[in-house]
Amino acid sequence: MNRKTLDNLSSILQSNPERISSSDAPKQLLDTKYISKKPIPKSHRCPICGGEATLYGLEDSDKEFRLVCLDSQGHETTVSEKDLIRYEIELSPLLNDLANTANITATGEIAELLPEFAAQRTEKDLLICLIGPAKNYRNAVQSAVTYIVEKRVPAIVITPRESVEELHDLIESYAVAGIILPLTLNTFSEEDYVKELVKALTAEHEYKKELFDEQGIGKEDIRWKLEDHPSLIKSKLSTLRTLRENSINEQAGIGRTIWTEFEKVCKAAFAYLDFELEVGQGGVDNEGSEVADAVIGYPTMKIPDRVEISRLHGIVDAKSASKADFDSEAVSKQLDYFDEIKGNKLYHSFTKLHLFVVFDFDADKMLDWYETAKLHYPDGTGMVVLTAEALRSMVDLNQSLLTLSAVNRGAVDRRHVFRYFFDPQLYTRPEFADIADMPDLFRWNATESNTQSRYGAEDELLIVTQKMVLDWVNRSRSREHGTDPIFRVDSSD
């Protein structure tokens, strides 16, 4: 693309105009398809008092107009067409040409979220995102990154500024730097350079796509979409707790925001860990009728030389309160649900799970509550209290295991690595003997001396800590995966 045109566009986008006037619009730019004249509006502001004013044509001139104030009589001015004309950036041809320069084809509608940004999808599943003339650059970039994270595709983010440095810093803090290519608008005058960078970005994406295709995971599968965001899930799981602690003394609204966010992050984490999310069954997406924050499933596991491990059906309650409260109204709804499925044949052979993801909890209260809850559970229901740190580590380790499975494809089935922590019965198996130390419940605010033994007596209740997860993976990885049946892929699967 023409360097001069790009320079002009950059300066217009940087000057934060409310509207682009004739004096703002460089002559060379007016001759391009990137900018267009807007029709002159009827309604105006009176230049004297700021009140509403109406425009009237003059009989003897089509270049000048009479502006009459509606608020004060006598406020009447003559304005020229030149002062009234406004221009607008034409996003469609601009984004199209930016895409073409990058050797990709723009497709579909433009998401116009100006003045912050505009985004367009391209045929290679890549987003082109142009930062607009918003007064607050930082906010504009943040909105764009949030949009990209939601779309879960790689993106080129184009800034009208002269350098990408600030853009880079802002993106980096979002932990999605790996799928975002920041470029200045001016860079698009160097076509070969842009093509090369974009090719590298899409090649990575294509490579991952191949990996997923091999595993038979379709493009619409949420696992595919979330693949690029384990870092984001991890950082969210860490920062939400801090936010929660900071907001305790603030208004209730923040608590709700954190709750919905925590719930979404937990869902993303489970999807990333290869759980099936039962869409439309719970959570903020389904307000009013929700039983739980999420309903998760996990297919039957076939481990060679062993019995089959049955399908998992779990109800997730993401407790974002700094200390999880186990006797709230929402939780009793979940118990009603367990009562309901008790007689349902469909669930007979399933392993049922009541899962709580927590930042912190009171061990005594949790045990009191469990004693009531288990009366509602159908046979074969386990309750797991998973700490946010443990979930974070699962996501983290899953990331490195993915790398491992990519290298050693076929020999390792990483999908089953964490399944054991979601079933207290499985966790008592011999392979866990040396890592199944009981967590010290005094860490979880236990005050009664018998709390530890009460917990020890419950076979279908499991508290999963970060240490348990780390120990398990360390131990598993230090073995030869090829000979450990837990990691072997069953050929009939």
From the list 74-82, 278-286, 461-469, 470-478, the region that binds Zn ion by CB under 5 A is 74-82
Q: How many whole angstroms separate alpha carbon 307 and alpha carbon 29?
A: 72
Minimum Å gap between C-beta 76 and Zn ion is 9
Helices then strands, each counted (H, E), the chain: 16, 18
- Residue 75 in contact with Zn ion, rule: CB under 5 A: yes
- Residue 273 in contact with Zn ion, rule: CB under 5 A: no
Minimum Å gap between C-beta 78 and Zn ion is 14
Q: DSSP letters of 377-392? A: SPTTEEEEEEEHHHHH
Q: Count CA atoms within 13 Å of residue 137 on its CB side.
A: 16
Among 2, 54, 72, 349, which residue interacts with Zn ion (rule: CB under 5 A)?
72
Cβ distance 427 to 386 under 8 Å?
A: no
**Which residue, 69 or 355, is less far from Zn ion as judged by CB?**
69
Q: How many whole angstroms separate alpha carbon 293 and alpha carbon 285?
A: 9
**Which region, left, alpha or beta, applies to residue 305 given φ > 0 means left and ψ of -120 to 50 means alpha?**
left
Cα 68 to Cα 11, 47, 91: the distances in Å are 34, 10, 34
- Residue 406 in contact with Zn ion, rule: CB under 5 A: no
Minimum Å gap between C-beta 39 and Zn ion is 24
**Which residue, 51 or 280, is less far from Zn ion as judged by CB?**
51
Six token digits for residue 211: 């990996």
Among 20, 35, 69, 144, which residue interacts with Zn ion (rule: CB under 5 A)?
69
**Which residue, 68 or 243, is less far from Zn ion as judged by CB?**
68
**Touching Zn ion, residues 306-325 (CB under 5 A):** none
Q: How many whole angstroms separate alpha carbon 155 and alpha carbon 399?
A: 21
Minimum Å gap between C-beta 67 and Zn ion is 9
Q: Count CA atoms within 13 Å of residue 202 on its CB side.
A: 19
Amino acid occupying residue 312? L
Q: Return the bridge partners of 122, or none.
A: 106
Amino acid occupying residue 226? L
Minimum Å gap between C-beta 265 and Zn ion is 54
**Which residue, 53 or 386, is less far from Zn ion as judged by CB?**
53
Q: How many whole angstroms separate alpha carbon 139 and alpha carbon 122?
A: 25
**Which residue, 74 or 218, is less far from Zn ion as judged by CB?**
74
Number of chain residues interacting with Zn ion (CB under 5 A): 7
Minimum Å gap between C-beta 40 and Zn ion is 19
Minimum Å gap between C-beta 54 and Zn ion is 11
**Which residue, 2 or 72, is less far from Zn ion as judged by CB?**
72
Map residues 38-57 to x or -, x wherever contact with Zn ion holds by CB under 5 A.
--------x-xx-x------
**Which residue, 77 or 235, is less far from Zn ion as judged by CB?**
77
Minimum Å gap between C-beta 44 and Zn ion is 11
From the list 5-13, 62-70, 205-213, 377-385, the region that binds Zn ion by CB under 5 A is 62-70
**Which residue, 72 or 246, is less far from Zn ion as judged by CB?**
72
**Which residue, 75 or 348, is less far from Zn ion as judged by CB?**
75
Quick one: which of 338, 397, 412 has its CA closest to 370?
338
Q: DSSP letters of 26-75? A: -HHHHTSTTEEEEPPPSEEE-TTT--EEEEEEETTEEEEEEEEESSSTT-
How long a stretch of residues is the chain? 493
Minimum Å gap between C-beta 196 and Zn ion is 58
Point out which residues bind Zn ion (CB under 5 A): 46, 48-49, 51, 69, 72, 75
